[in-house]
Amino acid sequence: MKRRTLLAATPLLIARGASAQPKPAALKTLRAVMHSDLKILDPVWTTAYIVRNHGFMIYDQLFALDGKLKPQPQMVESWKVSDDKLTWSFTLRDGLKWHDGTQVTTADVLPSIKRWTDKDAIGGLVAKFTREMKAVDDKTFEIALKEPLGLMLSTLARASSVPLFIMPKKVAETPVAQQIGDMTGSGPFVFKKDEWKPGERTVYVRNAAYVPRKEAPSGLAGGKLAKLDRVEWVSMPDTQTAINALQQGEIDMIEQPAHDLLPEISKDKNIEVIVPDTLGNTYILRFNWKQPPFDKLAYRRAAEYALNQTDFLKAVIGDSRYYKTCKSMFGCGTPLENSAGMDGLLESNFAESKKILKEAGYDGTPIVLMQSTDLAVLTNLAPVAKNLLERGGFKVDMQSMDWQTLVSRRAKKDPIGKGGWNICMTAAAAVLLLDPINNHYTETSGDRAQFGWPLDEEIEKLRMDFVREGDSKKQLEIAEHVQKRVMDLGVTVPLGQYVQPMARRRNVSGNLPSPITVFWNVDKK
């Protein structure tokens, strides 16, 4: 047969062959615009939320937080603790395999825990309490403690900012200061490193060999059933561009659309707005204890009287459906929510604020308030604070800068005349604030504490009491004492809580109520 004749016959041959073969099912591909681009892959090396989300795609946890923020077994099948609360024994469940098909064993678990404790502050606390970790066999391991640790299970289920992800032994043995490059996990999705293009897209495919737990999914726990064949995180830094793409069906989901654009999105009958993370984020204000005038308690108390939560939430979020007020350091609607130490505070009592400043001898020196200008959920915080503090008797010098500059500057302890600062505000995921240990904004260890560097031995003692306590009622009592002292001293001021809606096409369903965006259980028609 001549070449021309063969080419002419080829379509017919292909057509005949196709008719004899069943048509392959179309792959379910979901394209999502996330809150940030993925540029780092090691979820232990950095605390960036997008890297944490990446970790939940490909790794699994020993325990995970359910929809009620209670730790539940995930990779663990059973566990027990000795009568003296010093020896914990854990047995892995059946069906755990790495993406390359090899078995997950305790030889992988122990170095994963070690690398995590070397990095995470809470993990480091576990390490201080630990006398020995050892493998009993391939499926069972023990953690022997020096003294009881009441937070053992909730610590192993830590969701942010550095969760305990279990990695293969050879990967977990990588020094914590060095980033890992091997993305072999055991979770419901497999990372396609060959398709990863920072600034363009990140790709995951379904792990067909993953064996979900039999329980129904709840929060980050339960059965992780991957219903999508492929998930693509598409980079679109411009919010309006992302919304246009969503409306045209070029993408299926926007993780964090701007609140002020939600009315526009809601008009499209093919799009729905949901709130998967009902816990949300908390706005916080920090005083710099190193520099006048907030090195003195009276000035911190005066500011607490001048501020209120509602003004901040209205100015930044706007729609009351997406925010709520509660005078709690540990989040609204959480097990440790309380109002201890809040009487009379955060109610914009300007008369009381002015009275305290007069008694303290305030000389009118302006306080330096830093403003972030490039993040929509933060930009309006500083102007509101300036207005309220000035009405309370302060003079305020609001200095504007982009977020990265602010983060760099807030880490410095320089005097005001040399680039220092007095007040800084930010937002923290409420899942990070659930108790006095996870909530770093209650820490008062001086130079080791978060920016602002508060110092108080009593709060630190109470926090360690909380670590040792296993009774929930007594934990609440300790949390109340911690919060009262935090407010009495002006350590941190909670400025209300807000949720971040997600926008998705109506043919997408199954996003779980969760403090972290996950893609198991998500389906697309």
Which domain-ending residue is among 142, 167, 185?
A: 185
**Among 163, 185, 207, residue at a domain's last position:** 185
Phi-psi region of 247 (alpha: psi -120 to 50; beta: other; left: phi over 0): alpha
DSSP state of 134: E
DSSP, collapsed to helix, strand or coil, labels residue 352 as helix
Domain that holds residue 177: 36-185
What is residue 52's predicted lDDT score, i.e. its pLDDT? 94
Residue 29: CB atoms within 10 Å? 14
Residue 386 lies in a domain: yes
Residue 461, burial from CB neighbour count under 10 angstroms (0-12, 13-18, 19+): exposed
Cβ atoms of 184 and 171 within 8 Å: the answer is yes
| 23 three-class SS | coil
Residue 30 lies in a domain: no
Residue 366 shares a structural domain with residue 488: yes
Give the per-residue pLDDT at 3.
37
Please, which residues bridge with residue 172 across strands? Answer: none
C-alpha separations of 343 from 284, 307, 347, 442, 518 in Å: 18, 13, 9, 19, 39
Residues 312 and 457 in one domain: yes
**Residue 208 within a domain:** no
Q: Is residue 450 situated within a structural domain? A: yes
Q: Is 294 left (phi over 0), alpha (psi -120 to 50) or beta?
A: alpha
On whether residue 393 sits in a domain, the answer given is yes
In this structure, are residues 518 and 512 in contact, taking their beta carbons and an 8 Å threshold? yes
Residue 278 backbone dihedrals phi, psi, to 5 degrees: -75, -15
Q: Helix (H, G, I), strand (E, B), or coil: what is residue 254?
A: strand
Does 506 reside within a domain?
no
pLDDT at 120: 87
pLDDT at 6: 36
CA distance 470 to 480: 16
Which of 150, 185, 220 delimits the end of a domain?
Answer: 185
Number of domains in the chain: 2
Non-local (6+) Cβ contacts of 390 within 8 A are 396
Rounded to two decimals, the pTM is 0.84
Burial code of 156-179, b = ≥16 C-beta within 10 A, e = fewer?
bbbbbbbbbbbbbeebbebebeee
How would you class 421 by CB atoms within 10 Å of its CB: exposed for 0-12, middle for 13-18, buried for 19 or more? buried
Q: What is the pLDDT of residue 26?
A: 76
User: Is 90 within 8 Å of 76 (Cβ atoms)?
Assistant: yes
| Same-domain status, 416 and 312 | yes
336 and 458 both lie in a single domain: yes
Q: Say if CB 320 and CB 499 are below 8 A apart.
A: no
CA count, 13 A, side-chain hemisphere, 350: 9
Same domain, 177 and 286: no
Bond prior to 161 in cis (omega within 30° of 0): yes
- Do residues 492 and 361 share a domain? yes
Residue 97, Cβ density class (10 Å: 0-12 exposed, 13-18 middle, ≥19 buried) = middle
Cα atoms found within 13 Å of the Cα of residue 438, Cβ hemisphere only: 24
Task: Identify the sign of the CA torsion 390, 396, 400, 402.
Answer: negative
Whether residues 438 and 296 fall in one domain: yes
Distance separating alpha carbons of residues 494 and 341, to the nearest angstrom: 12
The whole-angstrom distance between residue 64's C-alpha and the CA centroid of its chain comes to: 14
- 332 with 476, same domain: the answer is yes
Same domain, 162 and 285: no
Residues 286, 142 share a domain? no
Report the phi/psi class of residue 325: left, alpha or beta, with left for phi > 0 and alpha for psi in -120 to 50.
Answer: beta
281 SS3 class: strand
| CA distance from start to end of the chain | 47
**CATH number of the domain that 90 lies in?**
3.90.76.10
Report pLDDT digits (tens) over 85-112.
999 999 999 999 999 999 999 999 999 9
Q: What is the CATH number of the domain that holds 353?
A: 3.10.105.10
- 402 Cβ contact partners less than 8 Å away, ≥ 6 residues apart: 372, 373, 374
Are the C-beta atoms of 487 and 494 separated by less than 8 Å? Answer: no
Please indicate, yes or no, whether residues 289 and 435 belong to a single structural domain of this protein. Answer: yes
- Residues 19-46 have pLDDT tens digits of 444 455 678 999 999 988 999 999 999 8
What is the distance between the alpha carbons of residues 249 and 231, in angstroms, rounded to a whole number?
15
Low-confidence ranges of the chain (pLDDT < 70): 1-25
Say yes or no: 292 and 180 in one domain: no
CA atoms within 13 A on the CB side of 410: 26
Domain membership of residue 149 (yes or no) is yes
Q: SS3 for 97?
A: strand
**Which spans in 139-268 are helix H?**
152-156, 169-172, 239-247, 262-266
How far is the C-alpha of 101 from the C-alpha of 335, rounded, in Å?
A: 40
Closest CA to 190 of 208, 173, 213, 172: 208
